[in-house]
Copies of this chain bind each other. A is one copy, B any other.
Amino acid sequence: MFLGSHSINMDAKGRVAIPARVRELLSSICGGQIVITAHTQERCLLIYPRPQWEEIMPKINALPTFNKAAQRTKRLLIGYANESEMDGNGRILLSQTLRDYAGLEKKLMLVGQGKNMELWSEEAWTAWLDDGDDGELPDEMMSLSL
């Protein structure tokens, strides 16, 4: 389970140091083997451990060919996917393409989301936080007591 957020930096070569806590988790789940791709709803990146990725791949491929929204999802998820691995110092290298998609510069936020993680530019993250207008609450939530 990936929990919690970390404020991290990307260096001039596009390398991102994964926080030690997360690093251990990744090593135990998948030996550090991950897949990085584009998030379809937000301009941020998705990081999956390789095994979880293998699970969702077939679902993506099974999306209906003649539905535009489905094709968009597929094109982004598969088209931006990048098999990757941590280097000796626990860093991952982000391709220029991925950096461009999410508008990553220096300051980033790594956000745990259970099965996967999201990687945001700090700017985009705070913008999202401050936005707050996310439409109607679904029925399931109206009576939810946490």
Count how many chain A residues have C-beta atoms less than 8 Å from C-beta atoms of the other chain: 51
Q: Is the CB of B4 within 8 A of A64?
A: no
Q: Is the CB of B5 within 8 A of A146?
A: no
Residues of B within 8 A of A101 (CB): 129
Residues of B within 8 A of A90 (CB): none
Write 30 A-B pairs (CB below 8 A) sorted by A numbering.
Answer: A3-B78, A4-B79, A4-B83, A4-B97, A5-B79, A5-B95, A5-B97, A41-B71, A59-B146, A63-B138, A63-B140, A63-B141, A64-B140, A68-B134, A69-B134, A69-B135, A69-B136, A69-B137, A69-B141, A74-B113, A75-B111, A75-B113, A78-B114, A79-B111, A79-B112, A79-B113, A79-B118, A81-B112, A101-B129, A138-B142
